[in-house]
Chain A
Amino acid sequence: MSDIAILAIDATVKSVILIVVLLTGFAYGTWLERRFIARIQVRIGPNRAGPFGLLQPVADGLKLFVKEDVIPLGADKILFTLAPVITAIPALIVLAVVPIGEQVNLFGYTTTLGIADINVGVLYIMAVTSISVYGIVLAGWASANKYAMLGGLRSSAQMISYELAMGLSILAPVMMTGSMSLGDIIRAQQNTWFIFLQPIAGIIFIITMLAETNRAPFDLPEAEQELTAGYITEYGGMKFAAFFMAEYMKMIAVSVIAASLFFGGYQFTIPFTNIQLHTLLGGWMAPFILGAKVVASLMFMIWLRATLPRIRYDRLMAFGWKVLLPLSLANAVVTAVLVALDVFPSFG
């Protein structure tokens, strides 16, 4: 077979696997959230639908599937239906550039785990996550509902404010590696994770990660008590399921990116030894290591949601512009100076 055909089949199969994994991850992300928040609140979560409530997401999906599809009278039908799609698709495609392992061998076919480790991976990620802002503001506008519109505007303003600080905090690992390719950034963390070398950038990234996905404590746009559920007010049934899915898949995607940029990605070396866990099982252990980091990150986000109250909108914007942006800018400048002075041992 020609090279192009092999490449096409390779990419297609990996993309299908990625989508299936993300959909399952979304379903069981909701399960994890409900069970873990319940335990934090000294109660058990859903445990009736299947053992340990594992079929609860199936039940939820069925329920949303059979609900009536309501479109408000004055709403723009095309945009109303298109908005959840525009929000969900970036969440699906952003993980295409993240490598989840190194070379593996499957029945004689050697391939690298990960769909496409392009050399501008970080730029691709920033661009794609910005597209989902369109979906939200369109959802608010197309709902023909004042409160949905306000919620959509608030949410998009929040997301673009925190995207600036996110971009600047991502700049730090990129400068230290000298490359925008995620594969290079991950391999540069073989000895130390960037979270230890760039703690400020790491913490800023974690905070903006929460603001990007509209997660607590930055969840004012989708809070039930404020603005009557914000931009998703008029959505029910499968369209609501699409927004819900977009939120959880964005959480997973942003956790994968945080793990890759600051926590070593698919690598794990047991401290004070030379045992590299990601080389076990012929390289197939690496995705599971990344998976464990993603689950830990999801649990951290769920833990924050159960602990913190919502931040008021004006304080949220003030925090993004007056605290995080200057801090990440200062961090970028200091890192640039230190890299130029060759303080860090060479990476990548």
Chain B
Amino acid sequence: MIIRRGLAILEGMATTIKHVFQPPVTVQYPEQVRPLAERFKGRHELKRYDNGLEKCIGCALCAAACPADAIWVESAENTDEERYSPGERYAKTYEINMLRCIFCGYCEDACPTEAIVLEHEYRLSFYDRKSAIYTKEMLLVPVPPGGKPTPQKVPPGSFDRAIPDMENPK
């Protein structure tokens, strides 16, 4: 019986030594980076349309949906001289407190215009609590090529729908 138990130990040792000859699964970060899934929930981004207008209409549904109360939205009216988004309102102040955010993606699900999207950036670190509050300037994507930066001056009457179309306006 002792022999049988001893042989069981040897069988275990054979199993472990096999692992020495398998390639290790370690990834040498930061030189090598593990690929992320397509739907990985990283840092948020506020998207724009192709002509440069922001998609966010300042409805604050994302703030209402957030379970951690991390989003703060203040909205203001668009005028034709100073237009930020193709709708009645835009987000004058948009801040996300990254220390509260749990990266659940509910804001992304709640947004009616697909403005707030969770992208793949996960290297988020700060030295103090103040810099953990990400402002609109930090979250807004750069103007796409062919578009104009906001605020834009548009011909009056071109964006008169209360709720904008869901496709990129021409």
Residues of A within 8 A of B (CB): 36, 38-44, 303-304, 306-308, 323
Decide if B12 touches A307 in the complex (CB within 8 Å). Answer: yes
Indicate if the CB atoms of A308 and B17 lie closer than 8 Å.
no
Tell whether, in the assembled complex, residue B19 and residue A40 are in contact, meaning their CB atoms are under 8 Å apart.
yes
Query: In the assembly, what is the distance between CA of A306 and CA of B14, in Å?
Result: 12
Would you call A42 and B24 a contact (CB within 8 A)?
yes
With both chains docked as a complex, state the minimum distance between the C-beta of A345 and any C-beta of chain B, in angstroms: 29
Checking A36, A43, A304, A308 against B24 with a beta-carbon cut-off of 8 angstroms, the contacting residue is A43
Within 8 A of A (CB), among B1-54: 2, 9, 12-13, 15-17, 19-20, 22, 24-26
Besides A39-B24, A306-B16, A307-B9, 19 more A-B contacts (Cβ < 8 Å) are A38-B24, A39-B19, A39-B20, A40-B16, A40-B17, A40-B19, A40-B20, A42-B19, A42-B22, A42-B25, A43-B24, A43-B25, A43-B26, A44-B24, A303-B13, A303-B17, A304-B13, A307-B15, A308-B9
For the complex, give the distance between the alpha carbons of A304 and B25 in Å. 22
Residues of B within 8 A of A41 (CB): 19
B149–chain A nearest beta-carbon distance, Å? 44
A/B interface sample: 15 pairs, CB < 8 A: A39-B19, A39-B20, A40-B16, A41-B19, A42-B22, A42-B24, A43-B24, A44-B24, A44-B26, A303-B13, A303-B17, A306-B16, A307-B12, A308-B12, A323-B2
Residues of B within 8 A of A43 (CB): 24-26
List the B side residues contacting A303 at CB < 8 Å.
Answer: 13, 16-17
B residues neighboring A (CB under 8 Å): 2, 9, 12-13, 15-17, 19-20, 22, 24-26
Closest B residue by C-beta to A300 = B13
Across the interface, name the chain A residue whose C-beta is closest to B13. A307
Nearest-neighbour CB distance to chain A for B31, whole angstroms, equals: 11
Q: Which residue of A lies closest to B22 (CB)?
A: A42
Binding site secondary structure of chain A: helix
* Min CB–CB distance B100 → chain A (angstroms): 33
* A307 and B16 alpha carbons, distance in the complex (Å): 6
A-B pairs with lowest CB-CB distance, top 7: A307-B16, A44-B26, A43-B26, A39-B20, A44-B24, A307-B12, A40-B16
Tell me the complex Cα distance, A39–B24, Å: 7
Residues of B within 8 A of A42 (CB): 19, 22, 24-25
Bound-complex Cα distance A44 to B23 (A)? 9
The residue in chain B whose Cβ has the minimal distance to the Cβ of A217 is B9
Give the CA-CA distance A41 to B17 in the complex, in Å: 9
Distance from A45 Cβ to chain B, minimum over Cβ atoms (Å): 9
The minimal Cβ–Cβ distance linking A165 to chain B, given in whole angstroms, is 14
Q: Closest Cβ of chain B: how far from A234's Cβ, in Å? A: 34
**Chain B nearest CB: distance from A62 CB in Å?**
24
CB distance from A42 to the nearest CB of B (A): 5
Alpha-carbon gap, A248 to B13, bound state (A): 22
Nearest residue in A to B14 (C-beta to C-beta)? A307
For residue B49, give the distance in angstroms from its CB to the closest CB of chain A: 46
Bound CA–CA A41/B16 (angstroms): 8
List residues of chain A with CB within 8 A of the CB of B20. 36, 39-40
Complex interface: chain B residues within 8 A of A38 (CB) = 24
Give bound CA distance, A176 to B116, whole Å: 83
From B23, which residue of chain A is reached at the shortest CB distance? A42
Please name all residues of chain A whose beta carbon is closer than 8 Å to the beta carbon of B16 when the two chains form the complex: 40, 303, 306-307
